[in-house]
Amino acid sequence: MAKQFKKIGVLTSGGDAPGMNAAIRSVVRTALSHGVETMGIYYGYSGLIRGDIHPLGVRDVSNMMNHGGTVLYSDRCPEFKTEEGMQKAIATCRAFGIDGIVTLGGDGTFRGATDLSVRGISCVGIPCTIDNDITSTEYTIGFDTATNTTIQLIDYLRDTCESHSRCNVVEVMGRNAGDIAAYAAVASGATAVVLPEVPFSEEALMEKIRTSRRLGKHNFIVVVSEGMGSDFAPALSQKITKATGVESRFARFAHVVRGGSPTLRDRLLGTRMGAFAVEQLLEDKSNIVVCEQGNQLVSMDIGYALVLDRMYKGKLKDGDLAPFTEEQIASMQAHCERKRALIASLAASVDRIGL
């Protein structure tokens, strides 16, 4: 018989992302509309282990959709990866009467959700990370805001670059994924983008800058993904000055783009995914992650989503594909190809149009 939910939990884990608060609000109010109470689990899995848990009523989630960060706070909790930590977390769920949890975070958070699911606590994941590096969804909550902030900051840099006829090499976050770099480079009219997914020719970049300068271009913006390594962008900036004669400065935006008021897209995605996650949970679905595909929300088994992710990142482990049919593997491969093609096309557009 389907589980009857009376009380669910919601937690945020891993790196925070603008739009998480919209999702929390939506979880709480959607659950209430079904007569289900929501408990806020503070500090991610750490709070689940130590019982830092408090009820969230309709007014507790007012006036927060417009704020970045997460009102539930976040944490990285190594103890949760141990069997002892996991057992403590399960005991807390039982003590608080929590039947299911909506977990907001990235792939690490979903691995934790799987571990809980297989031990009887229903879990539904919502992909929240500015990196957009959850392959199963076209967009993660937080990516749009972070990328818009990145564009705005690049616009500021361009003003001063233009006045001084300089180049600015900008390193942006994204961990090993070049999504923020690629989208921001296109949307800010950058001269070049350097990201782990696409080959880069230093000599072609130098030649492009020399030629454009000869043809009268004043400012140059080169966007580099942090996945290239922390020494790459500062070194590239120095090389540009030396090889082209165009004075270059280096800027690292770092965590600043992880904050700020969420954009329309992130508020909408947070609200939609929060509601969808609760409805899936109440339909007794578990061990799934909510994904946006072609503007539709769908749910995907977390195991499938994590393997798809490893396939895209070239990190498949022995036996990863064993549980899946040939059709499923072909579908995963096609999915990865589409994502690779999208990122490559954005980088190609920068090369062609960023003149």
- Pick one of ligand F6P, ligand ADP, none as the site partner of residue 131 (Cβ within 5 to 8 A by kind): ligand F6P
Is 18 near ligand ADP (CB under 6 A)?
A: no
Between 112 and 174, CB nearer to ligand F6P = 174
Min dist. Cβ of residue 175 to ligand F6P (A): 4
92 touches 46 (CB < 8 A): no
From 25, 29, 208, 258, residue interacting with ligand F6P (rule: CB under 6 A): 258
From 69, 106, 196, 354, residue interacting with ligand ADP (rule: CB under 6 A): 106
**Binding residues for ligand ADP restricted to 44-63, rule: CB under 6 A:** 45
Question: Could you tell me the strand order of the sheet in which 248-252 lies?
Answer: 192-194, 220-225, 167-172, 248-252
Following DSSP, what letter does each residue of 129-176 receive, concatenated? -TT---TTSS--BTHHHHHHHHHHHHHHHHHHHHHHT-EEEEEE--TT
- Pick one of ligand ADP, ligand F6P, none as the site partner of residue 112 (Cβ within 5 to 8 A by kind): ligand ADP
Write down the H helix ranges in the chain. Answer: 20-33, 44-50, 83-96, 107-117, 143-164, 179-187, 202-214, 232-244, 264-282, 302-312, 326-353
**The one segment of 73-81, 91-99, 262-270, 290-298 that binds ligand ADP by CB under 6 A:** 73-81
From 30, 38, 46, 129, residue interacting with ligand F6P (rule: CB under 6 A): 129
Between 58 and 254, CB nearer to ligand ADP = 254
Q: Please, how many CA atoms are within 13 Å of residue 182, restricted to the half-sphere of its CB? A: 24
Is 174 near ligand F6P (CB under 6 A)?
A: yes
Which residue in the list 99, 131, 144, 179 is annotated as catalytic?
131
135 touches 157 (CB < 8 A): no
Between 20 and 22, CB nearer to ligand ADP = 20
Q: Give which of 122, 56, 52, 124 is closest to 92, Cα–Cα.
A: 52
Return the amino acid letter for 176: N
- Pick one of ligand ADP, ligand F6P, none as the site partner of residue 198 (Cβ within 5 to 8 A by kind): none
Q: Are strands 122-127 and 288-293 parallel, antiparallel or unpaired?
A: parallel
Residue 192's DSSP bridge partners are 222
Min dist. Cβ of residue 227 to ligand F6P (A): 8
Binding string to ligand F6P for residues 134 to 173, with x set by CB under 6 A, is what?
---------------------------------------x
Backbone φ, ψ for residue 49 (5° rounding): -70, -45
239 touches 208 (CB < 8 A): no
Catalog residues that contact ligand F6P under the rule CB under 6 A. Answer: 15, 129-131, 173-175, 226, 258
Catalog residues that contact ligand ADP under the rule CB under 6 A. Answer: 13-15, 45, 76-77, 80-81, 105-109, 111-112, 115, 129
Query: What residues are labeled active site?
Result: 131
